[in-house]
A and B are shown apart, each in its own frame.
Chain A
Amino acid sequence: MRRAAFGVTGADVDRVGGGVEAWIDDALSPGADPGVDATPQPTFAAIPAVAANATQAQRQARNQAVNAQGDQLTLWWVTRMLAAHRPVVERLTFAWHNHWATSLTKVREADLMLLQNQLLRRQGLGSFTTLAKQMILDPALLIWLDAEKNTKAAPNENLARELMELFTLGVGGGYTEDDVKQSARALTGWRVAASGAVTNDAKRTDPGPETVLGVTDHFTPLTLLDTILADPSHPRYLATRWWHQLSSDDAPPDDLVTRLAASYVVGRDSTALIKAILVDPAFASAAGTLMTSPVEWVVGSMRTLAVPVTAANVQAGLAVLRRLGQVPFYPPNVSGWPSGASWSSSAAASTRAAAATKFASLGDISEVSNASATSRIDSVAHLLALDHFSDRTLTALALAKGNPAQLVATALISPDYLVV
């Protein structure tokens, strides 16, 4: 549960009566969510483009307005992650954001990033084919990978290459350099209007035919995806990447990938893949091999301690994310955020210690404060849904025993909590 959701408490675990599968089915099923209702997505007023002869001050003013909308968007998503009653949806949407990593630094327009976020949230469960076919014409992705400038006169290969390398097949996924070039031709002619509308310009579109992965056709982006997703590399790649997103920094063995890919490929169904990962015996035995990312740790800690979702507290959480180097909507590059040991620098360790102290002071730790001196450490384990602490962490906790807030902060930064 700790690996699949954002912030689980012992009380949550206690409530799971029907077993893990039932919990997953419930977590993934649609349903009313007062936390979502309380955090409606922002609406963004259009910011008119500046005239060609605009002054420096006018350009700066527009830039500031654009940046302010980006800040508002980021703040909204962190708020939603903290407030949602079904955090699994947000956790998976964030994982898809990491998969199709697109950054505001280049896209600039918050409303386009919000559109992409809605798409990932709406289509993150169910058919991957549908998700991919909508993403391939998503205005933010097209801007991010220069696809709106890809024309038959001189194809721009950026989108075609990353589509195969990062989004569907993976490096070594059996495609060739020529497949990339031919796919780039199949993706020519698309433009993003100032309104965000995506349109096709026949004059800029290569009519084909192209040959991709051995199939010759007058490809459109949608038929191109049919060919790419039919490639045997695709289910194995998606299974491997999602195993890393949900379960472990360690490589999945071949037979596990085969199993997961088989569950997925039936309907190219992301829900089936995610469930297959969560219920596979290998998932349980991979416990303790996934380093939580800063977003998972900050949101998870704040939710677990029931830190009130106020503007000031959300800002405090976002400030920690900035220092730790993971801000939603700003992945460092198209391959997404780093993982594992990259998050474990000594500078990050100090930042986490300060943040954990702050979260413990803002949150509800009464379960620990009210516990008797002898059961205090057990109460921390229960609060954070940990089944045990290592001897090392117990030594550290003993140093903080007299101070409940420090005790909770210590547990939050322990390897036992940071590695799931």
Chain B
Amino acid sequence: MNALYNPRLPLDGLTRRNFLRASGVVGATALLAGTAGCTWNDVTRAASQNPLPAGTPILVLVTMYGGNDWLNTVIPAADPAYHDARPGMSYAHDEVLALDSVSGLNPGLKNMSSLWSSKKLGIMRGVGYPNPDRSHFRSMDIWQTASPSSPLNTGWLGRWLDHASDQEPLLGLNIGPVLPVLAVGAQRTFAALSVKEPVTEPLSAVMAALGTPNSADTEAQRIVASSYAAVGRVRDDVVTHMSQVSLPDQVTDDGSLKSQLLTVAACIKLGAPTRCYTVSMGGFDTHAGEKATQQLLLTTVDTAITEFRKAMTDSPRASDVVLVAYSEFGRRVMANASEGTDHGTAGDVLIVSDRVKAGFHGDQPSLTDLDQGDLKASQDFRSLYAELLTSVLGADPTAVIGTGITASQVLV
């Protein structure tokens, strides 16, 4: 078992915030402050009052925490350098699910392989950024803030919200109560959806009273009080929206990627006014005994995406969805002696959509021309963000991620 990273807890706790502060970022206290908790009933109400116009593109962003080993995900199985680098943990050419004459998918990604055949899968290769950082915490911050050179305390999707003219509170929706930094802007944050929250509790009147604002609060006290305000809303919802649409039975609060994506499917089908959903899964930090562990993780991802698409099949909005999966870095080309891999640099990004230009985008970096044992990135992740901002979220990328970045043209 290599699950150093709990899938239910994005790496946004003590360590990341404190390190941001330690590195001199002012105002990082705001990162988790004011999290707008919301419930399924908030979603149903918003969907009936302000449904998303038909045909609006929708982004579903999947964060894979821990650093996925992309070389054992999109596998250059015909390249002898791959087998030389990974004795005991490489996949033979006839084991992989062929994509072209050189590469194939990990055997755990059976449904992704069908999506490839039906031209619904795009794969960006060699995605990274200059001067790669091999710390989970820093590298994930870099991907989520879209700022490789200096620490920032806002995420790229949070800044998208800051600049959006649509003031709908559910425009961005994170599945789960804890917001990753990518969903936090300077003025606005994503809403954080908790499903199947307890709706009755003792002390309900008391909790409503504790949820009222108090001007003398410290920041920490204000956050505690706002958590009670959210509980108060849950109770009101139960009273006034008893007959609302309920979530499908197979959706649980187990935090699995499948549950998260099925929740997203339910929101989209209901017409929630949300243009961007964020979900996540952890456990990809495979320093030892990687092959079996990672195949299991990838099977979990594969199943979750399949169930999501299955849930969407009868919806006219299915073709509006662009699903993107990324991780903070790929792993070292050379295996270590524990049949695992250490932290590396460039990796792939998976894009599943009716709207994707199917196939490979960008070149697989050479496995022999390396930078300190690691792949040299052939494209910058911000070019993908520019494409998603322009083509899915209808935003001007320069306001969000700066100038001089050319969109990657991966979508139709």
Q: Which chain A residues have a beta carbon within 8 Å of chain B's beta carbons? A: 103, 105-106, 144-146, 149-151, 153-158, 161, 165-166, 170-172, 177-178, 180-181, 237, 240-241, 244, 249-251, 288-291, 325, 332-342, 344-351, 353-354, 356-357, 390-393, 395-396, 399-400, 406, 409-410, 413-416, 418-419
CB proximity of B12 to chain A, nearest CB, Å? 7
Instruction: Give bound CA distance, A390 to B214, whole Å.
Output: 8
Chain A residues contacting B226 (CB-CB under 8 Å) are 344
Neighbour of A353 across the interface among B8, B137, B202, B220, CB < 8 A = B202
B138 touches A419 (CB 8 A): no
Complexed CA–CA distance, A172 and B141 (Å): 13
Q: Which residues of B contact A354 (CB under 8 A)?
A: 198, 201-202
Say which residue of A251, A325, A350 sits within 8 Å of B198 (CB atoms).
A350
CB proximity to A under 8 Å, residues B253-305 = 282, 287-288
**Contact residues in B for A416 (Cβ distance below 8 Å):** 221
The reply to whether B203 and A400 contact each other, CB–CB distance below 8 Å, is yes
Enumerate chain B residues within 8 angstroms of A158, measured Cβ to Cβ. Answer: 287, 342
**Which A residues lie within 8 Å of B222 (CB)?**
415
Q: Does B49 touch A at the CB level, under 8 Å?
A: no
By a CB distance below 8 angstroms, the chain B residues around A290 are: 220
Kindly state the separation between the CA atoms of A240 and B15 in the bound complex, as whole angstroms. Answer: 11
Q: For B205, what are the chain A residues with a Cβ–Cβ distance below 8 Å?
A: 399
Partner of A340, one of B5, B14, B234, B335: B14
CB distance from A218 to the nearest CB of B (A): 20
Residue of B nearest to A400 (CB): B206
- B219 contacts A154, C-beta separation under 8 Å: no
Interface pair B12/A342, CB less than 8 Å apart = yes
* Contact partners of B37 in chain A: CB under 8 A: 345-346
Q: CB of B231 within 8 A of chain A?
A: yes
For the complex of A and B, the 5 pairs showing the least CB-CB separation, nearest first, are A338-B13, A149-B338, A346-B230, A332-B6, A251-B21
Distance of A204 from chain B, by nearest CB (Å) = 8
- Which of B28-36, B315-323, B393-401 lies at the interface with chain A? B28-36
> Do A105 and B288 contact each other (CB < 8 Å), given the known contacts A341-B35, A419-B218?
no
**Complex alpha-carbon distance, A374 and B341, angstroms:** 66
Evaluate contact between B209 and A342: CB separation under 8 angstroms.
Answer: no
Contacts of B17 in A (CB 8 A): 249, 339-340
By size class, the interface of chain B is: 35 or more
A345: which of B2, B12, B177, B335 is its contact (CB, 8 Å)? B177
Give, as a whole number of angstroms, the nearest-CB distance from A142 to chain B.
Answer: 12
Residues from chain A with Cβ under 8 Å of B1 in the complex: 105-106
Question: Cβ of A181: which chain B residues have Cβ within 8 Å of it?
Answer: 372
B340 near A341: Cβ-Cβ < 8 Å: no
| In the complex, chain A residues whose CB is within 8 Å of the CB of B230 | 345-346, 349
The residue from A150, A161, A349 contacting B134, defined by CB atoms under 8 A apart: A161
Q: How far is the CA of A418 from the CA of B223 in the complex (A)?
A: 11
Instruction: Report whether A171 and B6 are in contact in the complex, using a CB–CB cutoff of 8 Å.
Output: no
Contact of B178 among A251, A338, A393 (CB under 8 A): A338
Separation of A15 and B285 alpha carbons in the complex (Å): 50
Question: Are B220 and A289 in touch, CB under 8 angstroms?
Answer: yes
Q: List residues of chain B with CB within 8 A of the CB of A349.
A: 207, 227-228, 230-231
In whole angstroms, what is the CA distance A277 to B222 when docked?
Answer: 25
Counting chain A CB atoms within 10 Å of each CB, which of B21, B32, B282, B338 scores highest? B338
* Least Cβ–Cβ distance between B249 and chain A, in angstroms: 20
Q: What is the CB-to-nearest-CB distance from A170 to chain B, in angstroms, rounded to a whole number?
A: 6
B217 CB–A CB distance under 8 Å: yes
B386: interface (CB < 8 Å): no
Cβ contacts under 8 Å, A410 to chain B: 203, 206, 210
Interface residues of B in 1-50 (CB under 8 A from A): 1-6, 8-9, 11-19, 21-23, 28-29, 32-33, 35, 37
Q: Mark B48-85, 1 if CB is under 8 A from A, else 0.
A: 00000000000000000000000000000000000000
Name A333's contact: one of B5, B212, B221, B335 (CB within 8 Å): B5
**A399 touching B220, Cβ below 8 Å:** no
List the B side residues contacting A151 at CB < 8 Å.
337
Q: Are B220 and A288 in contact (CB under 8 A)?
A: yes
A347's partner among B35, B177, B212, B287 (CB-CB below 8 A) is B177
Cα of A333 to Cα of B137 in the assembled complex, Å? 12
> Which residues of chain A are within 8 angstroms of B114 by Cβ–Cβ distance?
none
The verdict on A392 contacting B336 (CB below 8 Å), with A335-B11, A336-B15 known, is: no
Residue of A nearest to B31 (CB): A341
The smallest C-beta distance from B223 to any residue of chain A, in angstroms, reads 5
Is there contact, CB below 8 Å, between B198 and A392?
A: no
Q: Is B366 an interface residue (CB 8 A)?
A: no
B224 within 8 A of A: yes
Known: A251-B21, A353-B203. A154 touches B29 (CB 8 A): no
Cα separation A181 to B342 with both chains bound (whole Å): 10
Residues in A whose Cβ lies below 8 Å from that of B210: 392-393, 396, 410, 413-415
Chain A proximity of B73: nearest CB distance (Å): 20
Q: How far is the CA of A86 from the CA of B8 in the complex (A)?
A: 34
Min CB distance A163 to B, Å, is 13
* A203–B176 alpha-carbon span in the complex (Å): 48
Q: Which of chain A's residues have a CB closer than 8 A to the CB of B32? A: 340-342
Tell me whether A149 and B227 are in contact in the complex, defined as CB-CB below 8 angstroms, given that A251-B21, A342-B13 are known contacts: no
Candidates A154, A172, A346; contact of B336 at CB < 8 Å: A154
Residue of B nearest to A358 (CB): B202
Q: Is B197 an interface residue (CB 8 A)?
A: yes
Q: Most chain-A Cβ atoms within 10 A of its Cβ — which of B206, B217, B221, B228?
A: B206
From B137, B192, B201, A171 is in contact (CB under 8 Å) with B137
Q: How far is the CB of B42 from chain A (nearest CB, A)?
A: 11
21 A–B contacts, CB within 8 A, in A order: A156-B288, A161-B134, A171-B23, A240-B22, A250-B219, A288-B221, A332-B13, A335-B15, A341-B35, A342-B178, A347-B177, A351-B198, A354-B198, A357-B202, A357-B203, A392-B214, A406-B203, A409-B203, A415-B210, A415-B225, A419-B220
B206 touches A337 (CB 8 A): no
Which listed residue (B218, B338, B343) contacts A146, Cβ 8 A? Answer: B338
Interface check B135, CB cutoff 8 A: yes
Q: Which residues of A contact B4 (CB under 8 A)?
A: 103, 106, 144, 333-334
Interchain CB contact under 8 A, A150 and B14: no
A136 to B276, CA, bound (A): 44
The answer to whether A406 and B13 touch across the interface, beta carbons within 8 angstroms, is no
Alpha-carbon distance A413/B201, docked complex (angstroms): 13
Are A288 and B134 also in contact (CB < 8 A) when A158-B287, A396-B210 are?
no
